[in-house]
Amino acid sequence: MTDLAAGTVGEGARRSSNRFVGALVSGENALVALVLVGIAAVPIAEGLLRVFTNGSISGASTIVAHLTLVVGMLGGAVAARENRMLALSTIDTFLKGNVRATLHSLTFGFAAAVAAFLCVAGMQWIATERPTGAVLVYGIPTWIVQSVLPLGFGLVALRLLWAAGASWRSRAAALLVVLASIALARFEPIEPEKLVTPGLAGLFVATLFGAPVFVTLGGAALILLWGSGDGIGSIPIDHYRLVTNPTLPTIPLFTLAGYLLAEGGASKRLMRVFQTLFGRMRGGPAIVTALLCAFFTSFTGASGVTILALGGLLMPVLIDAHYKERDALGLITGAGSLGLLLPPCLPLILYAIIAKVEMRQLFLAGVVPSLLLIGLTAAWGIWCGPRIERDTPPFSAREALKALWAAKWELALPFVALGTLFSGWATPVEAAAWTALYAAFIEVVVYRDMHPLKKLPAVLVESSLVIGGVLMILGVALGFTNYLVLADFPALALEFVKQHVDSPWTFLLLLNLFLLVVGCLMDVFSAIIVIVPLVVPMGAAYGIDPLHLGIVFLANLELGFLTPPVGMNLFLASYRLKKPMPEVYRAVVPMILVLLVGVLVITYWPGITTWLPSVFKS
């Protein structure tokens, strides 16, 4: 009887604990979704007030910028909670048993230590900000909102510790790594500069075995700044300065619009449109694949949503059209990043912010190069596709019109995004907010694919998770970039290049080779933050048009989605289409060669980039 009573009490305690944890998760999800809604609502209200009353919301841009900081940190914490932070390597998946468990525990212990140090750096920064008495808006002290930065990193550190293993022994081992790291930094038994090389080596190993990207970049910044004696206090300052950039809210807003499309019925309706228009010609399914993927990627930011949303739809279409399975796999994997140069794709926005080029002009510069890459992809698909069968039904104008009418609201989305922006009626952030609102309206109200209470909140949380993961990477990456600036690396690199490279054409060739290597090792967002500040002065020294340089840079990184070891499309295609990685590698080789031809054309024919901006020069 005693044992039965004890068991009943234990079961009740577990149920209470589960309810408590569930309530915390629900509360966290509700908060991050509400903040994301606020990022869209404030610019829309500001735009309406300006147009109809010539009024404004006091401090609107400041409010939106700091809401972006909040959604970035809380979204990153949600990503850590769900164990879905972006990693550069998944080599640990090839290991088994105790070896894998041990390495996983140590890796996540190292990652938790980096997050803990970033939390400490954030708290040190808040301690210096609080006495200033700065006010954000409406009497709210600035430091209160800024405190979300150390809070977010602290939550991530705890969740990385929890994810270190399924047993308390594994988590205890990870905690020992954290405590040992803190003791090493606090008491300095060894001079910091002597620990830089071992620290970076440990970071490399942790990255190899699955540490998140923000750990790699943030850890490098921490180790290098600590070893040089500069202190780690600049990292949260850099993070805050980047994430509260007035233009940066366009990234979460366009990401939200892309997720609303992907989670609604847009993919099927758009698929039907392109199928009726092009599906009956030779290579038609390949043309459909290229166009549909480009459309989705332009709004989802090449974040992998395209392959996840469309891969399962497109693969059966290509197979039914008698494409070889390898060709179909390669086509879907390669097409997953098409649209990276089409506005309003997120890398275009981020490049404009970091390189300080006019966003509207960069949007225009990417259109023709993007169409070139889409055309080359479609042409390859036509060439490798089967000949059209005699019994294929002819093109039906009636079916095409019905498909176009059914998808008319989604097809109007680019006009909403770009029309509001290029008309001058809205700022970039307001245009992004109207785009997100329009996408929500058509999916929830017009098509009713998304229940406003059951499904929409989940989409908001999913978007916040991706946004948080990306913004956390961007913030710590800027800390690493600024270490390079402190070390005078850009000036040294520029001097070296000028001494050894005479021609701008040679420089562009070397830049292509360099960026292909970068694309093999770094995701596109990290590459923009870290590499652009180094490359832009070099381009200026050789007289290369800033818009041309930007499109060359991004076109090369588009290939990075396909190149091992960390090409994101490779992992996503393997996961979504259930194919082993070696098979994906082999399948994607022709697409890499095709897109490489396009990149070389873009590089050595500047007019393809600069023509459209010159026509619509602001």
Tens digits of per-residue pLDDT, 63-81? 999 999 999 999 999 999 9
- 274-279, long-range: CB < 8 A, 24+ apart: 275/317, 275/403, 276/395, 276/396, 276/399, 276/400, 276/402, 276/403, 277/400, 277/403, 279/317
Instruction: For residues 598 and 604, give the distance between their C-alpha atoms in angstroms, rounded to a whole number.
Output: 10
Long-range CB contacts for residues 232-236, cutoff 8 Å, separation at least 24: 232/117, 232/120, 232/121, 232/124, 233/121, 233/124, 233/125, 233/128, 234/479, 234/482, 235/118, 235/121, 235/476, 235/479, 236/118, 236/121, 236/122, 236/124, 236/125, 236/149, 236/150
Position 9 in a domain:
no
Q: Tell me: do 291 and 236 sit in the same domain.
A: no
The answer as to whether 3 is a domain residue is no
pLDDT of residue 17: 64
pLDDT value for 549: 94
256 and 215 belong to one structural domain: no
User: Is 8 a domain residue?
Assistant: no
Establish if 330 belongs to a structural domain: yes
In a domain, residue 24? The reply is: yes
Report residue 141: phi and psi, to 5°.
Answer: -60, 135
Residue 115 reports pLDDT greater than 90: yes
Question: Amino acid letter at 42?
Answer: V
* Mean pLDDT of the region 529-554: 91
Instruction: Tell me the mean pLDDT in the region 11-30.
Output: 78
Give the model confidence (pLDDT) of 247-289 as tens digits. Answer: 888 888 888 888 888 788 887 888 888 888 887 777 788 888 8
Return the higher-pLDDT residue of 476 and 500. Answer: 476
* Tokens describing residue 164: 């270190």
Question: For residue 585, which phi and psi values (nearest 5 degrees)?
Answer: -55, -50
Report phi then psi at 87, rounded to 5: -120, 155
Please tell me whether the overall predicted TM-score, pTM, comes out greater than 0.85 for this model.
Answer: no
Same domain, 365 and 501: yes
CA atoms of 79 and 28, how far apart (whole Å):
12
Q: Give how far the C-alpha of residue 568 lies from the chain's centroid of Cα atoms, to the nearest Å.
A: 10
Distance CA 493, CA 515 (A): 15
The whole-angstrom separation of Cα 207 and Cα 200 is 10
**Domain termination site, one of 243, 268, 285:** 243
DSSP code of residue 92:
G
* Cβ density class 125-151: b for 16+ within 10 Å, e for less: bbeebeeeeeebeeeeebbebbbbbbb
Based on the fold, state whether residues 81 and 226 are members of the same structural domain.
Answer: yes
At which of 196, 225, 243 does a domain end?
243
303 and 168 in a common domain: no
Residue 5 belongs to some domain of the structure: no
3-state helix, strand and coil shares in percent for the chain, rounded to the nearest 5: 80, 0, 20
Residues 234 and 306 in one domain: no
CB count in 10 Å sphere of residue 516: 17
Token look-up 């997120």 returns: 346
Rounded mean pLDDT, 476-498: 80
495 within domain boundaries: yes
If asked whether residues 230 and 280 sit together in one domain, one would say no
Same domain, 319 and 438: yes
- Bridge partners (DSSP) of residue 596 are none
Lowest-confidence range among 211-215, 340-344, 494-498, 589-593? 494-498
306 and 388, same domain (yes or no): yes
pLDDT of residue 120: 94
Give the mean model confidence (pLDDT) for residues 139-164: 94
Let me know if residue 208 belongs to a domain.
yes
Q: Residue 4: what pLDDT?
A: 45
Can you name the residues that pair with 212 across neighbouring β-strands? Answer: 87
| Cα distance between residue 256 and residue 565, in whole Å | 29
Residues 190 and 264 in one domain: no
CA–CA dist 175, 172 (Å, integer): 5
| Alpha helix ranges (H) inside 358-396 | 359-384
State the average pLDDT for the chain: 85
**Angstrom distances, CA of residue 291 to CA of 173, 345, 383, 393, 398:** 49, 15, 17, 22, 21
DSSP code for 135? B
Q: Of the candidates 219, 243, 267, which is a domain's last residue?
A: 243
Range of the structural domain that residue 304 is part of:
250-615
Residue 1 pLDDT:
47
Averaged pLDDT for residues 309-336: 84
Say how far apart CA 613 and CA 618 lie, in whole Å. Answer: 8
Place of tokens 């509400």: 34
pLDDT number for residue 409 = 92
pLDDT-derived band at 615, boundaries 50, 70, 90 = confident
Residues 380 and 278 in one domain: yes
Tokens 């001097």, located at residue: 495
Question: How far apart are the two ends of the chain, measured CA to CA in Å?
Answer: 83
pLDDT at position 10:
55
The reply to whether 177 and 305 lie within a common domain is no
Give the pLDDT score at 595. Answer: 92
> Does the pLDDT at position 577 exceed 70?
yes
Which residues make Cβ contacts (< 8 Å) with residue 326, sequence separation at least 6? 583, 586, 587
Instruction: Give the number of domains in the chain.
Output: 2
